[in-house]
């Protein structure tokens, strides 16, 4: 506990509403090790934040309440399973505050798409409630709460680019020497992350799963801003599992590559697919071709890296 007083009297200024913008992510490398005793997998997870954003607005209310707007709002749970609700409850409990807050999520990140949309809302809610309640939690405290909420949540807080080890929650920042351009093909329906990891376990059963390590070539490509080198170094160990559960993604990957993408991969556990392109003009062309191919529900263009959760 830092600035807040015991009993929940806020030390900072009391605000009437706080909006936090938070980015989506793509994993430019997702190296997955063998399943651990706790069921999680040790990872070398190279996160890159991309410029597709959710915005979470926190305002005082009689009780904890979540609402959501945006084209895919109907797919977002509005109960206590929502990571935004869990984040608010976790911060309130730590500071002895009643979590009486209305959190409104303006959703633009694909839902259940492998782009950390739910994790993003958790990180954003935490930053918004911290500011609204004047709790003044330190960065390390916020990161600790994020790690309890989920493996990808700490990265949504920090943004930019980072290597996640452990189950992905232990972050080391990575320098990025330029802007990388992407197209994201949004699939119909989501994929469950536990189901994709389960399929990874099934596909690798009886084989020696190598230790997960970050690729030096990939880190060098990020550092130098070299998109051709990055295209050659992208990898996702969950891709075979996602394709096994959703074989039609192979057609989406092929459609984007044929349209001029330098490289294509499944984003995280999918089913969103990510296409690295050399510039914005190619991004628009590839997005149009993906939409015309009928192999995805939507195609979005975004640059990277993007900043982590921040008050606007």
Binding site for ligand C5P (CB under 6 A): 39-41, 43, 150-152, 167-168, 193-194, 197
List the alpha helices (DSSP H) in 60-152.
83-95, 117-133, 139-149
Cβ distance to ligand C5P smaller for residue 299 or 309: 309
Cβ distance to ligand C5P smaller for residue 86 or 181: 86
Of residues 103, 122, 111, 90, the one with CA closest to residue 22: 122
DSSP 8-state secondary structure symbol assigned to residue 196: H
Smallest separation, CB 243 to ligand C5P (Å) = 18
Smallest separation, CB 190 to ligand C5P (Å) = 13
Helix (H) or strand (E) holding 232: helix 227-233
Q: Which two tokens stand for residue 305?
A: 């890296």
Cβ distance to ligand C5P smaller for residue 38 or 63: 38
Give the DSSP letter string of 18-70: EEEEEEEEEEEEEEEEEE-TTS-EEEEEEEEEEEEEEEEEEEE-SS-EEEEES
By DSSP bridging, strand 180-186 and strand 298-304 are antiparallel
Smallest separation, CB 306 to ligand C5P (Å) = 20
Active site residues: 25, 152
Smallest separation, CB 144 to ligand C5P (Å) = 14
Q: Is 198 exposed, middle or buried (0-12, 13-18, 19+ CB in 10 A)?
A: middle
Q: Note whether 10 and 135 are within 8 A (CB).
A: yes
Cβ distance to ligand C5P smaller for residue 272 or 295: 272
Binding residues: 110-120
Q: How far apart are CA 288 and CA 304, in angstroms?
A: 20
Binding residues for ATP: 110-120
């Amino acid at each position: 506990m830092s600035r807040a007083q015991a009993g929940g009297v806020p030390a900072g200024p009391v605000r009437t509403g706080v909006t936090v913008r938070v980015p989506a992510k793509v994993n430019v490398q997702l190296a997955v090790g063998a399943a651990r005793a706790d069921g999680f997998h040790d990872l070398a997870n190279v996160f890159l934040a991309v410029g597709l954003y959710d915005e979470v607005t926190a305002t005082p209310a009689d009780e904890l309440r979540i609402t959501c707007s945006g084209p895919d709002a109907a797919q977002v749970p509005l109960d206590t399973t929502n990571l935004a609700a869990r984040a608010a409850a976790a911060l309130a409990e730590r500071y002895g505050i009643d979590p009486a807050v209305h959190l409104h999520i303006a959703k633009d990140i694909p839902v259940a798409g492998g782009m950390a949309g739910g994790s993003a809302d958790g990180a954003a809610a935490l930053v918004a409630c911290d500011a609204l309640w004047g709790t003044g939690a330190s960065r390390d405290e916020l990161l600790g709460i994020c790690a309890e909420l989920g493996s990808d949540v700490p990265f949504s807080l920090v943004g930019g680019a980072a290597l996640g080890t452990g189950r992905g929650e232990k972050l080391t920042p990575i320098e990025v020497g330029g802007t990388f351009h992407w197209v994201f093909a949004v699939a119909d329906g989501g994929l469950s992350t536990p189901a994709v990891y389960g399929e990874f376990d099934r596909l690798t059963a009886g084989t020696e799963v190598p230790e997960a390590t970050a690729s030096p070539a990939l880190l060098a490509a990020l550092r130098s801003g070299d998109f051709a080198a990055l295209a050659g170094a992208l990898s996702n160990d969950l891709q075979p599992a996602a394709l096994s559960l959703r074989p039609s993604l192979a057609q989406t990957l092929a459609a984007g590559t044929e349209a001029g993408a330098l490289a294509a991969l499944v984003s995280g556990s999918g089913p969103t697919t990510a296409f690295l392109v050399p510039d914005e003009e190619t991004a628009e062309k590839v997005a149009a071709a993906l939409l015309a191919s009928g192999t995805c529900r939507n195609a979005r263009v975004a640059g990277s890296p993007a900043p982590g959760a921040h008050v606007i």
